[in-house]
A and B are shown apart, each in its own frame.
Chain A
Amino acid sequence: MKKVKYILPLLAGLAMGCQKDLLDNVPTTNIPDTKAFDTKERVESQVNGMYTVLKNGKFLGGKVVIANEIRGEDYVNEKANNVTLNASWRMVTTGEAQEVKEIWSQGYMTINSVNVFLAGMAAKGSSVTGKELSDNFIGEAKFIRGLSYFHLLQLFARPYVDGAGSKLGLILYTEPHTKLGNYSKARSTVAETYAQIIRDLDSAETMLPKAADQVTRANSYAAIALKTRVYLYTGQYDKVLTEANKIVPAAPPFESTVGYKLEPNIKNVFVGNYTGAEAIFSLPNTEAVNDYPGTQTQLAYYFNPTALGGNGEYSLHPSGIISDASWKAADARRKFVVTAGNKSWMNKYTKGSPYTDYVPVIRYAEVLLNLAEATVRVTNTVDARAIALLNAVHGRSDATTVFTVADFATPQALINTILKEKHIELLGEGFRSMETTRLNATFPSKSSTVAEVTPAMSSYIWPISSDELVYNKLCKDN
């Protein structure tokens, strides 16, 4: 039985040697939630991370802009490809369409990333960063949430003007979602959604730093500037004045004391990575991996012809805004209309693959025009300051045209000119569709097969993502 002496220890030895610690397996490439708020630097990275989610090409860094452009009358779809929004261009998109699902889900992912961040700050992050930084970060988070709700609302809900905000708005969440749960919830009204947006932006305005030194992260003025847009869209024109006047001085050349002014030449704004005085909030792209938009979401890919590094998805419609006679040939903004293959193309975004143009979200010119329009609507006169604001924007690109009070028979005529100015000035920047719907205006016909779309039609706004309707039985479709 000598052998047994060896066998038993051998057996025991073989049964050992396991490495139980390997069972607690965390990745080396991602940071687990338990360690996400450990250092000040990591918390700040998380702030940047919320912007990363926001600027995803499926949302504000790409498809939101593209969808707002191509739903309007200014483009011709060249590729008949539903992946690149052909159905949206034809105004026949469905809840199953890729762009509808992507914008809806990426928008809400942005919102939830804010909610998760805010909860993490309350639990731990604020004590790690200290109050001042914490306030700044929370302000940025709320700005991002407000901006996200605003853009989802424009595509997925009836405009405020239709029923004074009583129609179905968005599903509102301010609490974090981090695990499996029953997240069925009904849509709030449009008015309730706007109220949430204003709550976020008011809070952001007070918490954010009052310094116009950063463009790719929000500051207090960005919150104010965004409020001019939000109040314009809800018809609260007096509040547009209140907000705009916080940053716009009373008289030309309307150079803001906090540092914003129009570039002398608009060309400077679209050099690709513009962060000058006209930019209030932009989304940056760089050549670093994952720091540029994903496939088939890049602005230059959609709007530039192949000769200029794009994919020629959308050319400019010959009878769109480029056909407008009041947009003079010498207007500097005509330089953004280029010709290739007998077609015109919108060329504000110029960088080829991997498409690193910054995406402008708010720039000073818009604030001036918001203020101009609101002023006319509040005063109901052919207001001189409104004309001065209009001239400031128009004049820097077309010095040959100077509007005067005599040019406008009625306040409405002035408003129409301001609206056209905005149409021209912001072409390519993701405004056309929402500028159309906020006024309950009709989308003009684009071709023999794409008829006009009136506010009464269901295709006036997008349907809700079909995924939402399947998994959230409380959500009603448009």
Chain B
Amino acid sequence: MRKSLLVVVSMLLLVTSVLAQAHRTVTGKVTDESGTPLTGVSVSIPNGKSGTVTDARGVFTLSVAADVKSLRVSFIGFEEKSIQLSSDNLGTIRLVPDTKSISEVVVVGYGTQKRKDVTGNIASVKGASISALPVQSFEAGLGGRAAGVQITVPNGVVNNPPVFRIRGTNSLSLSAYPLIVIDGVPTFSGDVGSTNAPLNPLSSINPADIESIDIAKDAAATAIYGSRAANGVVFVTTKKGKAGKARVGYDGWVGITSPNRLPKVLNSSQYLMIKNEGLANAGDARRYVANLDAKGDTINTDWMDIVYRDKSISQSHSVNVSGGTETSSYYLSAGYTKQQGILERNDFVRKNLLLNVDQRLGRAFSVGGKVSYSNENSLISGSSGSLEGEAFNSGGLARLAFLTSPLVAPYNNDGSYNVVDGGIGGGKNTLPVGIYNPKTMLDLDHSNTEAHHIQGNVYAEFKPFPWLALRTTYGADYVIMNNDMFQNALTGDGSSPNGRATSIHSDYKRWVWTNTAQFDKSFNQHNINVLIGNEQQRDQRERYGLRRDNQADTYFNNTEGGFLSDFSTDLLRRQNYLLSSFARANYNYKEKYFLSANVRQDQYSAFGENNKKGVFYGFSAGWEIAKEQFWADSKLSEIFSSFKLRASHGKVGNLAGLGDFDALSLYEPRPYGGTSALYYSQAGNPDLGWEVSKKTDIGISFGFLQNRITGELAYYNNNINGLILKVPQPPSAGIPSSTVSATVPANIGEMYNRGVEFNVNAMAITRKDFTWNTGFNIAYNKNEITKLVGEVSSIPFTTSTLEQTSVNQVGQPVGMLYVVRTNGIDPATGRRIFINAAGEEVYFNIAAANRYQYADGKVAPAVGVKDAVAYKNTNPKFVGGFENTFRYKNFELNVLLTYQTGFYVYYGSYAGLKDNRYWNNSVDVLNRWQKAGDQTDIPKIVYGDNISNGSSFAIAANVFKGDFVKLKTVGLTYIIPDAVVKPLHISGAKVYVRGQNLAMITKYPGPDPEVSSNGNNASGQGIDRNTLGNGRTVTLGLNVNF
């Protein structure tokens, strides 16, 4: 080792000495467009070794050989400039901000790389493009901004994690969410709260603090994260200080959100007509009657008005201070945001601090770190019915808003709450009118999660030689949560326990210790970069709760107050450990031929004893053809300024979402009549191991006309083996399970995602006063399950453990809608026509002795879930975005359209909206069948019928195309002229107006085809069951820099 180091060092000395020739000294000053000096700008001789950086005043002095004709001036975030050495004093060199992604630096695992050197597939999104969006977490703003990235905001509950997919769905039962790495530390994702208010840990980051987001998609770019890379890796880099004078910035906005496309339901006279018609048709003598309010007017309650906010207000403010010298830099920011959801009582509040510090010590050492703290409050009254598992909650507010009869009011005429026996009272009606009184629950209940989220890391770096960097980083990520719930005793789920308060404390704790050594070497235009490292990651989770029932007095509404019965609840303690070593080698020759290899070995505690270790790898190669002589000599060079071919292949894994003890067979303690008892509770699998994705990626990246137009085209093929399926066992086997269907996890499924991505960015117009930048991306993905379990070729999925809506089936994409086919309404009789599994048409009449009949009147077997077929695909074939930015003088207009096409959504709420029990209905039922010959898609109304409409089992009549184009964001910014702001000691200021979700083109009849009742669950996507839609937001913002 020592010998070889010696050789390398002497070679270096040799190279340097060869270069020693006659010299001259040049000086200059580098500033940005506004004339502010830039510090730390690298000034170098093209293709040469010697160079310098600018000082705090932006000034540089460099000794160069006499024959050097030009200098290269480059700085992160700015366009590189080549300066002809016309004289020794070059005066002021103004750099313009870089808007072409192709020349940026991108974050790769454990380091950075120049965009042009990257041979893996990495998409980058600038922090600025999402910094001022009215979203709670940054990833909700990524939709449409990068090819192959699909973001679905599943509902309008604030702080709900979006559905995040990169290049399709890459897992069935584990998480399909990408790995999120924040400043080098992998963080938590998903909903980590324990209440009805979701808590997305990623919302602890103020989007305004984000410098860049780099999305690694192929095996080459992700393999350094080995067993966690299969869903892609998202690198988030927060802002750091830049050398130069201290800067102070303020960014703030206020906004109004309003509910969008809510279903229209019957008023009380329509309700009376429809329900009483149904009772008559059912041969039932009972009738609904109108109620009168205190003034004697007929009660006609629009429950939507009670459950939804007409206008909700949001605001966000952040202040940052940053600066630095040649040896140190700092960035400190503080933020506050309060965002109201469209649902009453649903709020998100975040206060956060971020400090990034870097310090060089002498020539070889540097140390630094980051501390971020956020306090987040996710607030809601109770179940919205929108989170995973909530769809059929009796108290789900989105459903109560459309289900509850308009005949009754929230209050009795004496001003008390309208509640009877824990439910909503019907006034003069003895027939049911609803479930619970939502107003009472909105007024009295709460279900809040407060999180303290601390993320930090410290690093020390030692560079004994210019070509060697040794680095150790210790990172920690702690989410400490208090969940605080109360359910009143009058109505709702709290009435049976006579009032219930619950407090749950929950911790997510992680530490990560990473040690790397990096070698960088260039000689004879061979550039070599080698990284080796090891890493340990330890996760610990703990949760415990106290539930108290039997409220002693209506005054009390928290667990510390007066309640009579105490119970422990939500107990959990888990841990896992990931031990890894990894290496990467990058090589290029003349920045023309590129080779890269990554390898990582992971050992993970949660896998079975026979399968704890895994090795992952990625290889890639690139060829910058535009740098070849033959290309330069040809006409092509006049068109293409760069043209790079690249290809990669690798093997990566997935472990996200696997339970820490899923591989073990366990016994659970649970008392039996007050004595200790222990029962067999889990069948494990000692062979349980990684899900393995073998990914191949082939792409071209190109630039035309001095990179005025740049783009990328990529084809990928991802074959996934060993998908962990919770393999369903016949219930008769008696394998233990806390749910009805027992499963054992095993690496057994196979699936692929194949697709093509294309994106192009163009500076279409670059006049002095007017510029137009346009970017378009599109991704096509095909997903197919190729193997499930042995003879079982389909595994159904049940939404919220109640309604079978989806199926994973061999030969089909993941999460097909699994519904009973329908063939409209029989015009002669008004009966729903089902198509059973055998393909026969079966007519249904709930009032008949034989409810199911064939067309000829013969009795047919009952139609049910067993007749369901894999009906339609829920995976968008195409997703993408189209962004345009126009600048005219001081105005900037940014318009982002996003789209998804080629998929279907099951509008399960629509079944409820046509339910012929006491439920209120969509105004669509006014168009019901009434007499022979009526052509309609709404069957004859028969009170009590919950089958024709699809409440009993999912039917095809409630499946709709989900294709949409959304006007996702429109932003108009006005940069306040210097003449106005300079006298105020302000270096720059702008005001802006933004609209979010302003318009949508879709044939989907529900509130929003971007929806998911099953959250991020891969197998249950495309379900819209009793879910809150998304709001439409307009914000007004101000950005000031001092």
Residues of A within 8 A of B (CB): 1, 3-4, 6-8, 10-11, 14-15, 17-20, 22-33, 36, 41-42, 45-46, 48-53, 55, 58, 79-80, 82-83, 92, 94-96, 98, 101-102, 104-105, 108-113, 115-117, 170-171, 173, 177-185, 216, 283-291, 301, 305-307, 309-312, 341, 352-354, 448-449, 451, 465-473, 475
Contact = CB atoms under 8 A, between A and B. Distances in A.
A116 B421 contact: no
Interface stretch (B208-216, B372-380, B395-403, B658-666): B658-666
A116 B667 CA distance: 11
Interface in B646-702: 660-661, 664-685
Contacts of A116: 680
A104 B730 CA distance: 10
Contacts of A49: 667-668, 670, 672, 677-680
B577 interface: yes
B74 interface: no
Most buried by A among B468, B568, B675: B675
A216 B677 CA distance: 13
Interface in B708-749: 727-737, 740-742, 744, 746
A171 B731 CA distance: 10
A4 B839 CA distance: 78
A15 B515 contact: yes
Contacts of B675: 48
Contacts of B847: 449
B573 A28 contact: yes
Contacts of A104: 731-732
A353 B677 contact: no
B733 A25 contact: no
B830 to A, nearest CB: 18
Closest 8 CB pairs of A and B: A112-B734, A284-B673, A49-B679, A48-B677, A14-B515, A472-B730, A306-B421, A183-B733
Contact of A180 (B283, B496, B737, B746): B746
Interface of B: 1-2, 5-6, 9, 282-284, 421-422, 432, 462, 464-465, 468, 470, 472, 495-498, 513, 515, 517, 534, 536, 538, 549-550, 565, 567-569, 571-577, 579, 581, 603-606, 609, 612, 660-661, 664-685, 727-737, 740-742, 744, 746, 790-792, 796, 802, 804, 847, 849, 862, 864-866, 917, 944, 952-953
B669 A31 contact: yes
Given A108-B731, A173-B733, 14 more contacts: A4-B5, A10-B462, A27-B573, A29-B573, A46-B678, A53-B679, A80-B917, A108-B734, A113-B734, A179-B685, A287-B567, A291-B670, A467-B741, A472-B732
B735 A112 contact: yes
Contacts of A448: 283-284
Given A8-B1, A94-B865, A113-B736, A22 B605 contact: yes
A3 B674 contact: no
Contact of B667 (A33, A41, A301): A33
B666 A451 contact: no
Given A95-B866, A352-B498, A286 B802 contact: no
A185 B796 CA distance: 21
A108 B733 contact: yes
A309 B550 CA distance: 11
Nearest to A298: B496
Contacts of A55: 672
A32 B730 contact: no
Contacts of A27: 573-574, 660-661, 664, 666
A26 B664 contact: yes
Nearest to A29: B573
B667 A96 contact: no
Contacts of A32: 664-667
Given A52-B670, A183-B733, A22 B740 contact: no
Contact of A22 (B572, B577, B661, B667): B577
A447 to B, nearest CB: 10
A96 B865 contact: yes
Nearest to A116: B680
Given A48-B675, A52-B670, A109-B736, A98 B728 contact: no
17 contacts: A10-B470, A28-B573, A32-B666, A46-B680, A48-B673, A50-B679, A82-B952, A92-B862, A105-B741, A108-B733, A109-B735, A112-B735, A112-B736, A179-B744, A284-B673, A291-B671, A470-B792
A421 B227 CA distance: 67
A136 to B, nearest CB: 15
Contacts of B676: 41, 45, 48
A178 B666 contact: no
A312 B804 CA distance: 28
A59 to B, nearest CB: 11
Contact of A109 (B734, B866, B953): B734
A24 B605 contact: yes
Contacts of B681: 30
Given A49-B672, A473-B791, A353 B740 contact: no
Given A98-B802, A286-B671, A287-B565, A31 B678 contact: yes
A238 B791 CA distance: 47
A448 to B, nearest CB: 7
A92 B952 CA distance: 12
Contacts of A52: 670-672, 677, 679
B464 A290 contact: no
Nearest to A7: B464
A95 to B, nearest CB: 7
Nearest to A25: B605
A108 B670 CA distance: 19
Contacts of B568: 289
B727 A306 contact: no
Given A284-B674, A467-B741, A96 B864 contact: yes
B732 A475 contact: yes
Instruction: Give the residue among A1, A23, A82 with the most B Cβ atoms within 10 A.
Output: A23
A36 B667 contact: yes
A115 to B, nearest CB: 7
A30 B667 contact: yes
Nearest to A178: B683
Contact of B802 (A25, A83, A110, A312): A83
A468 B9 CA distance: 71
A286 B661 contact: no
A309 B499 CA distance: 12
A144 to B, nearest CB: 11
A32 B730 CA distance: 24
B940 to A, nearest CB: 16
A177 B733 CA distance: 6
A227 B865 CA distance: 38
Among A22, A50, A109, the one with the most B-chain Cβ atoms within 10 Å of its Cβ is: A109
Contacts of B804: 96
A365 B866 CA distance: 43
A306 B792 CA distance: 45
A31 B944 contact: no
Contacts of B673: 48, 51, 216, 283-286, 291
B139 to A, nearest CB: 30
A113 B678 contact: no
A353 B515 contact: no
B736 to A, nearest CB: 5
Contacts of B609: 24
Contact of A449 (B465, B572, B944): B944
B674 A468 contact: no
A51 B157 CA distance: 42
A177 B670 contact: no
Contacts of B515: 14-15
A381 to B, nearest CB: 43
A446 to B, nearest CB: 14
A149 B735 CA distance: 16
Contacts of B603: 20, 23
A173 B732 contact: yes
Given A19-B577, A102-B740, A467 B670 contact: no
A354 B733 contact: no
